[in-house]
Structure formats: structure tokens, C-alpha cells
Amino acid sequence: MFFLVNLARVVFAPLLQEFIAVFQIGEGTAGLIATLAWLGSALPRIPTGWVLTRVPRHRVILVTGAVLTTAAAFTASANSVLFVGIGALLMGLSSGVYLVAANPLVSELYPERVGWALGVHGMMSQLAAVAAAPLVTLILTFFFDWQLVFVCVAAAAALVTIALYFAARSTELPDAGTDDRDLLGAIRSEWRVVLLGVVVVGATGFVWQGLFNFYELYMETKGLADATAKNLLTVIFAAGVPAFFISGRLTDRLPRVPYILVIIGSFTVSVLVLTVTTGLVPILVLTAVIGYVIHSLFPAIDTYLLDTLPDETRASAYAWYSGGMMVVQATGSSAVGTLREVGLAYDAIFTQLALGLAVVVVGLVAFQQAGRLPQ
């Protein structure tokens, strides 16, 4: 299920160039389509936290499967950029609901190995990110129909939802969230932990969203061929597959906050280096480094939050974090598209974004040294 809901978010990136050609739109409008998918992922997260105070986690997850099936079918039938945008928003909704319900459930299924469990879970979503560009390339090459991409997603989502229903029926599920019944009380008691997560992932994700959604077009401005530029998206996501697994295990063993700060500092430096890098081999290596580093962040921050938050606030506080950081990062691609349309070069855009992120990193390190960050 995580494979499919993440595919629903990332599949728009390799389709942006196709949308520009088919609907005769600019990069700003194309970036807005990608933003809508991630904005859709952000909007239901806090409301889902409230739902989870009343409905078991696995039932909410089943609903996401139905939503994804319907939304993908709607997008497959879209005949205008407006309806593609609406479809992107609806597909994003399914991922937002899923993550808020599923990550706490996974952490509760494996309370002694939270980092490992979240790493394996996240690794499956990353495989979707790896598959997105090849899937789009394959369908466009042999069938010349971008809508078929969404037909495939809808059919797979329907089958997996049915399978998950029968799996849940035969599994003894944990009751750790029984006392989690106060959404507002959770944020009042856990606001420091939640705020740290929102700042770290929101700021870093804002840069990441803008980078990966325009990576293909960015690489073409560096002189790479269209096919090569598209396949670099596969490289950047493929590097995240081992990152989820390794980082999840490392998070179980290392001091978590310092480890998270090292990750976002490394990502900042990598993006800055990318802006002054040319040539296929150096770009290829740096692409893999960026992919590994950024995807190491997600299991690390999820483990930090879900293993730190107590049973009585876990899902509710996680919903506040999840919704907050997604609202911040979701606008990254539309911001890059807008800056591009006003005439800024990609190198200049990402240099400025990376320098802004560097300010955040320095501030967090200063707070860490002063003992002001919740450990």
C-alpha cells in the first residue's frame, strides 16, 4: 500500500514535461500540478489525527485504498490541466491519510525495533519513487498515453486494498493507541518535539520538493540529454532504497538529534555542490549522494518522533507534525517553477534555497549546543 500511495505523489514529476507539451502550459503551471499532489498529501493529516482518536488505524488505512483507487481513475479520465490538477490533489489526499495512520501502526507492531520497522516500511515507498520514471517512460514509449499510468495505479490500488482487508482480519493488531483520544491535548503536551520535526522536515523538504520535481529539466540545462536527465530521477530515488533500511537501523543505535542534524547539513552541502557541478560522471555521483542523504532523513525523523511520543499522544501528535511539515514543503515545486518563469536560472534558484536551508541548520546546531532541543 505504501508503494502505491507514494507512487501517487511522485509519478507527477516525470510527467511534467508531458503535461507541458500536451496542455501547452508553462513551468509554473506544471510545478503547480506537482504542488497540488503534495498539498493534497498535507491537507488531511491533522483531520486524520482526529479520526484516529475514534477509528482503528487499520480501518483508516483501508479507506485510503478506496480513495486512491477512485482518485487515480478520475485522473486517468482527465482531459484538461484543471482536471489533472484536481486529480493530483485527490491522489495526494490518499497518501496523507495513509501516512498518519500507518506509521504509528507500524511503530506499534514492532515496539522493540521501531527504526528497523519504519526503515523497511519506508523502503517500499522508495521503490515506488524508483519505479515512477521507468514506468512513465515505458508507457509513453510503447503506448503514447500518459493516462494509462493512472489506469495502472487505480487497478493496483483496488487489488491491494482487498488484500489488505483480508490480512487485517487475520492479524492480532496492537491496542497501544487506545488512550490517544485528545488531539488538542497532544499538541499542548508534545509541541516541542512536534515543532522540531516540522522545522527540520519542512525546511529540508521545501528544497527537496523543488529539486526533484524539476530535476529532469534542471539537468537538461546542464547539457544532459533528455533520456539521461529523466533517468537521473531513477538514480536519485534508487539511492534512497538502501538509505531507508540503513538509516532506520542507525537511528536505533545513534543519538538521534545529532544524527538528524548531520543529515540535513550534508543535504545542504550536496545541493550547493550540485549547482557548480558539470559533466555526466560528477553529476551522476552527486545525484546518488543527494538521493541517499535526503532519504536517510525520513526514517530518522519518524523513529525519533514515534519512539519518543508516548502511547497516549503518539498518533495525534504525529498528525500535527505530519500536517505541519507537509504544508511547508508542499509549495517547494511551485516556488521553483515561479522563480524559473521570472527568468532565474536553476543554478541560482537552488543556490539561494540551499543557503536559506544552511541558515536553518546553523540555528538548529546552535540550539543543540545550548541544550535547547528535545532529545
From residue 136, how far is each of 7, 139, 207, 307, 309 by CA, in Å? 11, 5, 24, 37, 39
Query: Which residue do the cell numbers 536553518 mark?
Result: 360
> φ and ψ at 150, to 5 degrees?
-80, -25
Helix (H, G, I), strand (E, B) or coil at 132: helix
pLDDT category of residue 90 using cuts at 50, 70 and 90 = very high
| Domains recognised in the chain with CATH numbers | 2-369 (1.20.1250.20)
**Cα-to-chain-centroid distance, residue 16:** 17
pLDDT digits (tens, 9 = 90+) for 292-309: 999 999 999 999 998 889
**DSSP per residue over 182-212, as a string?**
-HHHHHHHHHHHHHHHHHHHHHHHHHHHHHH
Confidence (pLDDT) at 8: 92
Residue 92 corresponds to which amino acid? G
Confidence (pLDDT) at 331: 83
pLDDT digits (tens, 9 = 90+) for 182-233: 889 989 999 999 999 999 999 999 999 999 889 989 999 999 998 888 788 8
Q: What is the pTM of this model?
A: 0.83
Taking Cα atoms as reference points, which of 43, 88, 106 lies closest to residue 324? 43
Q: Which residue has the higher pLDDT, 176 or 166?
A: 166
pLDDT at 4 over 90: yes
Query: Which residue do the cell numbers 512513465 mark?
Result: 136
Taking Cα atoms as reference points, which of 70, 61, 87 lies closest to residue 161? 61
pLDDT digits (tens, 9 = 90+) for 22-50: 999 888 888 889 889 988 888 898 899 99
End-to-end CA distance of the chain: give it in Å, rounded: 32
Half-sphere exposure of 121 (CA within 13 A, CB side): 25
Q: Which residue has the higher pLDDT, 26 or 74?
A: 74
Q: Which residues contact 64 (CB under 8 A, 6 or more apart)?
A: 1, 5, 94, 95, 97, 98, 101
Residue 375 to residue 371: CA distance in whole angstroms: 9
Burial of 120 (0-12, 13-18, 19+ CB in 10 A): middle
Residue 374 to residue 196: CA distance in whole angstroms: 8
- Across 239-271, b (16+ Cβ under 10 Å) vs e yields bbbbbbbbbbbbbbeeebbebbbbbbbbbbebb
